[in-house]
Amino acid sequence: MTLSAHAPAPDVPDATAPAQWPDATGHFGVYGGRFVPEALIAALDELTAAYEAMRVDPEFVQEFARLQRDYTGRPSPVTEVPKFAEHCGGARVLLKREDLNHTGSHKINNVLGQALLTKRIGKQRVIAETGAGQHGVATATAAALMGLSCTVYMGEEDTRRQALNVARMRLLGAEVIPVTTGSRTLKDAINEAFRDWVTNVETTNYVFGTVAGPHPFPAMVRDFQRVIGDEARAQLLEREGRLPDVVLACVGGGSNAIGIFTAFVPDGGVRLIGLEAGGDGVETGRHAATITGGDPGVLHGARSYLLQDVNGQTIESHSISAGLDYPGVGPEHSFLHDIGRAEYRPVTDAQAMEAFALLCRTEGIIPAIESAHALAGAMQVGQELGPDAVLLVNLSGRGDKDVETASAWFGLGDRTAPTDGDERAVEAGRGAEPGPGLDEDQHATEGAVTNDEAVAGQDAGEQQ
Amino acid sequence: MSALQDRIVAARAEGRAALVAYLPVGYPDVDTSIAAMVAAVEGGADVVEVGVPYSDPGMDGPVIQEAVDVAVRAGVGLPDVLRAVSAVAEAGAVPVVMSYWNPIERYGVDRFAEDLAAAGGAGMITPDLIPDEAGAWLAASDRTGLDRVFLVAPSSTDARLASTVAACRGFVYAASTMGVTGTRATVGDAAERLVARTRAVAGDLPVCVGLGVSDGDQAAEVAGFADGVIVGSAYVRTLLEDRGPDGVRVLSRELAEGVRRAKVRT
- The closest alpha carbon to A157, from A356, A301, A326, A42, belongs to A326
DSSP string, A289-311: -HHHH-EEEEETTEEEEE-B-TT
CB A76 within 8 A of CB A98: yes
Cross-chain Cβ contact B103/A462 below 8 Å: no
In A166-282, at which residue ranges do the beta strands (DSSP E only) sit?
175-179, 204-206, 246-251, 271-281
DSSP conformational letter for A367:
B
B63 — contact with chain A (CB < 8 Å)? yes
A300–B178: do the CB atoms touch at under 8 Å?
A: no
State how far residue A314 is from chain B, nearest Cα, in angstroms. 6
Chain B CB contacts of A457 under 8 Å are 180
Enter the DSSP assignment of B60. Answer: -
CA-CA distance, A246 to A129, in Å (whole number)? Answer: 31
Q: Rounded CA gap, A4 and B219, in Å?
A: 62
The one-letter code for the residue type at A212 is: A
Q: Minimal Cα–Cα distance from B66 to chain A, Å?
A: 9
A41 Cβ contact list (under 8 Å, min separation 6)? A34, B130, B153, B155, B156, B160
Give catalytic residues of A, as residue numbers: 107, 129, 396
Chain A hits for B183, CB-CB cut-off 8 Å, are 461, 464
Question: For the purposes of burial, counting CB atoms within 10 Å of the CB of B95, is it exposed (0-12), middle (13-18) or buried (19 or more)?
Answer: buried
Residue A343: CB atoms within 10 Å: 17
Q: Is B22 on the interface with A (CB under 8 A)?
A: no
Q: Smallest Cβ distance to A38: which of B54, B106, B175?
A: B175
Name the percent of chain A in helix, strand, coil, to the closest 5: 45, 20, 35
Question: Contact A308/B102, CB-based, under 8 Å?
Answer: yes
Query: Over chain B, what is the mean pLDDT?
Result: 94
Which residues sit opposite A151 in a β-bridge?
A: A127, A175
CB contact under 8 A, A38 and B153: yes
Order across the sheet with A302-306: list the strands: A27-28, A31-32, A302-306, A295-299
**Number of A–B residue contacts, CB under 8 Å:** 145
Please count the helices (runs of H) and the strands (runs of E) in chain A.
17, 15
Residue A283 CB partners (closer than 8 Å, separation 6+): none
- SS percent in chain B: helix, strand, coil, step 5: 50, 15, 35
Give chain A positions within 8 Å (CB) of B162: none
Decide if A202 and B178 are in contact by the 8 Å CB cutoff.
yes
C-alpha to C-alpha distance for A234 and A4, rounded to whole angstroms: 8
Q: Which residues in chain B are closer than 8 Å to A34, comparing Cβ atoms? A: 130, 132-133
Residues of B whose CB is below 8 A from A35 = 101, 128-130, 133
Residue B68 main-chain phi, psi, to 5 deg: -70, -25
Residues listed for chain B: 266
- Provide the shortest C-alpha distance from residue B128 to chain A (in Å): 4
- Please indicate whether, in this complex, the C-beta atoms of B179 and A298 are within 8 angstroms of each other: no
Distance from CA of B52 to the nearest CA of A (A): 10
Q: Which chain B residue is nearest to residue A186, measuring alpha carbons?
A: B56
Between CA B194 and CA A17 the distance in angstroms is 40
Q: Do A191 and B75 touch (CB under 8 A)?
A: no
Contact B102 A312 (CB under 8 A): yes
d(C-alpha A297, C-alpha A421), whole Å: 36
Closest CA to B123 of B142, B107, B106: B142
- Given B61, B106, B129, which is nearest A297 (Cβ)? B106
- Contact list, A208 vs chain B (CB under 8 Å): none
**pLDDT number for residue A431:** 32
DSSP assigned state of A391: E
pLDDT the model gives residue A462: 44
The minimal CB distance from A464 to the residues B57, B62, B185 is found for: B185
Of the candidates A33, A38, A311, the beta carbon closest to that of B156 is on A38
- Dihedral, CA of residue B22, residue A196, residue A319 and residue A262, to nearest 10: 110
Q: Does B127 touch chain A (CB under 8 A)?
A: yes
| Main-chain dihedrals φ then ψ at residue B255, nearest 5 degrees | -70, -40
Nearest to A35 among B60, B72, B128 (CB): B128
Mutate to test the interface with B, among A31, A38, A196 (most CBs of B within 10 A): A38
> What is the per-residue pLDDT for A422?
45
**Residue A351: HSE in the Cβ half-sphere, 13 Å Cα cutoff:** 22
pTM attached to this predicted model: 0.90
What pLDDT is stored for residue A398 in this prediction? 96
Q: Which pLDDT tens digits describe chain A residue by residue (464 residues)?
A: 444 444 444 455 666 566 789 999 999 999 999 999 999 999 999 999 999 999 999 999 999 999 999 999 999 999 999 999 999 999 999 999 999 999 999 999 999 999 999 999 999 999 999 988 999 999 999 999 999 999 999 999 889 878 889 999 999 999 999 999 877 888 889 999 998 998 898 899 999 999 999 999 999 999 999 999 999 999 999 999 999 999 999 999 999 999 999 999 999 999 999 999 999 999 999 999 999 999 999 999 999 999 999 999 999 999 999 899 999 999 999 999 999 999 999 999 999 999 999 999 999 999 999 999 999 999 999 999 999 899 999 999 999 989 989 999 998 866 554 444 444 333 333 233 333 333 333 344 444 444 556 555 555 544 33
> What one-character-per-residue DSSP string does A310-354 give?
TTSPBPPP--S-GGG--SB--HHHHHHHHTTSEEEEEEEHHHHHH
Distances (CA, A) of A431 to A158, A434, A462, B178, B254: 15, 8, 22, 30, 41
Contact B106 A300 (CB under 8 A): no
Alpha carbon of A194: minimum distance to chain B alpha carbons (Å): 7
Nearest CB neighbour to A312, from listed B65, B107, B151: B107
Task: Concatenate the DSSP letters of all residues of A14-65 into one string.
Answer: -TTSPPS-S-TTSEETTEE---S-GGGHHHHHHHHHHHHHHHT-HHHHHHHH
Task: List CB contacts (< 8 A) between A36 and chain B.
Answer: 58, 128, 130
pLDDT in the model for residue A16: 59
Predicted pLDDT at A7? 42
Sign of CA dihedral A70, A75, A81, A82: negative
User: Quick one: CA dihedral A302, A308, A312, A316, positive or negative?
Assistant: negative
Q: Which of residues 102-121 of B touch A (CB under 8 A)?
A: 102-107
Which of A33, A39, A310 is opposite residue B178, by nearest beta carbon?
A39
Closest CA of chain B from A125, distance in Å:
17
Q: pLDDT of B8-27, one tens digit each?
A: 999 999 999 999 999 999 99
Catalytic choice (B49, B115, B147, B192): B49
- B60 belongs to the catalytic site: yes
Best of A35, A177, A464 to substitute, by most chain B Cβ atoms within 10 angstroms, is: A35
Do the beta carbons of residue A134 and residue A401 sit within 8 Å? yes
Given a cut of 50, the residues of chain B with pLDDT beneath it are 266
Q: What is the pLDDT of residues B226-265, one digit of tens each?
A: 999 999 999 999 999 999 999 999 999 999 999 999 755 5
